[in-house]
């Protein structure tokens, strides 16, 4: 009976809340958590403006107009859904690239092109957490464009104003934090801020190595090698994504990142995840493109990697 399969992903919207109590008392560093890569790019289209993070060649060729931007949009869009629709599909880690934009004080999500204002995404996450008090989200502010110290201060204040008491304060003992301890303190959100000088979680507390490869074999090797070397006392992020270079995009310019990277990788990423287990030194946070493929099987398999925790005390 001890090895009987129990589907931990039968309610994606509430999967953390529904974990058995013994799992909710295990350090967050040992739990398998599904995330999305370049999380809020769903609204990128051929009509989107070129953003500051774009490669120089993209900026130069943008004069070719909407046809060129349609190609860039297809290769910049990594998700089909924004925050709330990912949350109800079980995603609990979000990867954020944000930028200023000329003519507005708002911060924007970017990935070669401008997507949506950041604040709307933060508001969706906060609203979800308010109605799901035992769910926890990890927000990773990885890249900033057009920022100086004063702009960083403004963004950090916006984050604090949005989430308030839900923010999990930084501690150097993250391996003692559990879902149960967070719920008892009404904490629900980790904010990682990969620029020094804030009170949020610093970059070194959530290592996030980028494979930067466009072949499936090289990616799987990188995932295996990096996971084997992880520090079991802190969280660890596995980037299960292919990264096309300019040559790859030119060779496949009529296609898209979804078709040539996400769908091509789907069977391999599922096979790799199915071979992983949660637990000390095991699979922790993993990110992927187009999280809804195969009826969200990626999300379900990551959550069910926590099967290995069911019989722990």
Give me the active site residues, please. Answer: 37, 111
Query: Is residue 217 within a helix (H) or strand (E), and if so which, with residue range?
Result: helix 216-228
The residue written with tokens 């500051």 in the block is 52
The secondary structure of residue 13, as a DSSP letter, is G
Helix axes 263-274, 216-228, angle to 10 degrees: 30
CA-wise closest residue to 239 among 284, 191, 201, 271: 284
Distances in Å between the Cα of 60 and the Cα atoms of 16, 64, 69, 249 are 46, 9, 12, 16
Beta bridge partners of 61: none
Q: Output the six-digit token pair for 47.
A: 């009509």
Q: Output the six-digit token pair for 12.
A: 């994606």
Query: Is residue 221 within a helix (H) or strand (E), and if so which, with residue range?
Result: helix 216-228
Q: Output the six-digit token pair for 81.
A: 């859904």
């Amino acid at each position: 009976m001890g090895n009987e399969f129990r589907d931990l992903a039968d309610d994606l919207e509430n999967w953390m809340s529904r974990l058995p109590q013994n799992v909710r008392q295990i350090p967050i560093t040992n739990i398998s958590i599904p995330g999305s890569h370049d999380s809020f790019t769903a609204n990128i289209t051929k009509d989107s403006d070129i953003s500051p993070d774009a490669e120089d060649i993209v900026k130069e060729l943008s004069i070719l107009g909407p046809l060129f931007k349609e190609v860039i949009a297809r290769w910049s869009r990594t998700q089909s859904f924004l925050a709330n629709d990912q949350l109800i599909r079980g995603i609990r880690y979000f990867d954020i690239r944000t930028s200023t934009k000329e003519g507005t004080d708002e911060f924007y999500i970017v990935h070669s092109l401008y997507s949506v204002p950041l604040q709307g995404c933060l508001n969706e996450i906060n609203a979800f957490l308010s109605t799901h008090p035992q769910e926890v989200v990890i927000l990773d502010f990885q890249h900033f464009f057009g920022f100086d110290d004063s702009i960083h201060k403004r963004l950090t204040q916006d984050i604090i104003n949005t989430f308030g008491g839900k923010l999990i304060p930084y501690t150097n003992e993250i391996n003692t934090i559990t879902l149960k301890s967070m719920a008892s303190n009404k904490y629900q959100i980790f904010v990682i801020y990969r620029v020094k000088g804030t009170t949020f979680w610093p970059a070194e507390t959530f290592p996030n190595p980028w494979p930067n490869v466009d072949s499936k074999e090289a990616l799987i090797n990188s995932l295996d090698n990096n996971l084997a070397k992880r520090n079991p006392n802190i969280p660890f992020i596995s980037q299960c994504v292919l990264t096309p270079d300019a040559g790859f995009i030119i060779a496949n310019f009529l296609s898209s990142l979804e078709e040539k990277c996400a769908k091509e990788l789907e069977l391999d990423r599922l096979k790799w995840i199915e071979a992983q287990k949660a637990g000390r030194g095991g699979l922790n946070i993993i990110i992927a493109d187009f999280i809804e493929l195969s009826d969200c099987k990626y999300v379900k398999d990551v959550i069910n990697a926590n099967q290995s925790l069911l019989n722990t005390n």
